[in-house]
Amino acid sequence: MSRRNPNGYGCVTKLKGNRSRPWCVRVTIYDLNGDAKQTPIGYAETEEKANILLAEYNNNPWEIDREKVTLMSLYHRWWDIKAQKLAPGLRACLRSAFKHCSKLYGMKYRSIKAYHMQDCVDNCGLSYSMQNNIKNLWGHLDRFAFECDIVDKMYSQLVTTAPVPETTRTPFTDKQIDALWKIKDEPWVNIVLIYIYTGFRLQELLGMRPDQVNLDEWYFQAGSKTASGKNRIVPIHDRIKPLVKELVDKGEPYLICFNGTRFNQATYYRRWDEVMKKINAEGKTPHEARHTFETNLDNAKGNRKCIDMLMGHKSKDVGNRVYNHKTIEQLRETVMLLK
């Protein structure tokens, strides 16, 4: 009985007909939608040689023929080796960006120049955010190609995007926050206040589980998107402690649930908009609650390192980023600056 290869390892099959190298070596490659498919990587005269080829591929998946590799094949190899180490949100952005490079899929990677990359950015027809994702993707692929000795120059360093547009988002005013507290017992208002007093991103709070809330020492430990943002500690402000405890005590699978299940973004936005109408703040978004949290802490002259840690941002100052360390109590003192 033949031994079964591990999942994702690949397989060896014999092709029909009279062939000089009938044994085909296939490995699992994931397409843009994340679906797996078997793709040939080589052929051999005997089954034994084919199995050796497959083993070599799995032992050293970095080995790529620099003269033959196309953008598509490089992307798939990069996705298998490098992309899996990135945050899920970033992977999704880069996968979407790759769709806007389709005109170059079959082009030899060594032949792709800066103007090819720039054309994908300039003609994607989408916002600054997507343009930046495309530029970011070229940077990832270039660095991988450089590591594999496929290219000698990283043309992605010459690619540019339009300047970051001025934000139209504004923090909640003191008057609007006071209006929320006056109706805090009405449906969904408690969630808006928790956003304002924690600075969490929309999906970070919607995906939070009760076991990520420490009611003994009163802090959240959650977050996503970046290395600095993951599992960060955010102390719970005194004013929202009763709101948070009430949600935890419900014993539901997520801190915020809708009909016993996790909120999806579209459903939550409808509830959010209902609350905004009550305080005459139509058009404001959950991300503006995050703006409010940072702005009010900065206005209260909160410690910059603490604010960065609470927001899940990497400090721009090397001294702050590398040598400056803060305790939970210092983070708590910063949060309590919110009046």
**CA–CA dist 25, 45 (Å, integer):** 11
Strands (E), the chain: 11-14, 23-30, 36-44, 213-214, 219-222, 232-235, 257-258, 261-262
- Helix crossing, 265-278 with 189-198: angle to 10°? 100
**CA–CA dist 153, 170 (Å, integer):** 42
Q: Mean pLDDT, to the nearest integer, of 7-27?
A: 87
**pTM tops 0.75, yes or no:** no
70 forms bridges with which residues in the sheet? Answer: 108
Model confidence over 45-75: pLDDT tens digits?
999 998 888 887 777 666 667 788 899 989 9
Torsion, Cα of 251, 252, 254, 256 (10° steps) = -100
Q: What is the DSSP letter of 167?
A: P
Residue 272's pLDDT band, with cuts at 50, 70 and 90, is very high
- Do the bridges between strand 257-258 and strand 261-262 make them parallel or antiparallel, or are there none, so unpaired? antiparallel
Model confidence over 104-163: pLDDT tens digits?
999 999 999 999 999 999 999 887 889 999 999 999 999 999 998 899 999 999 999 887
Please check whether residue 312 is in contact with residue 229, taking contact to mean a CB–CB distance below 8 angstroms. yes
Q: What is the pLDDT of residue 160?
A: 93
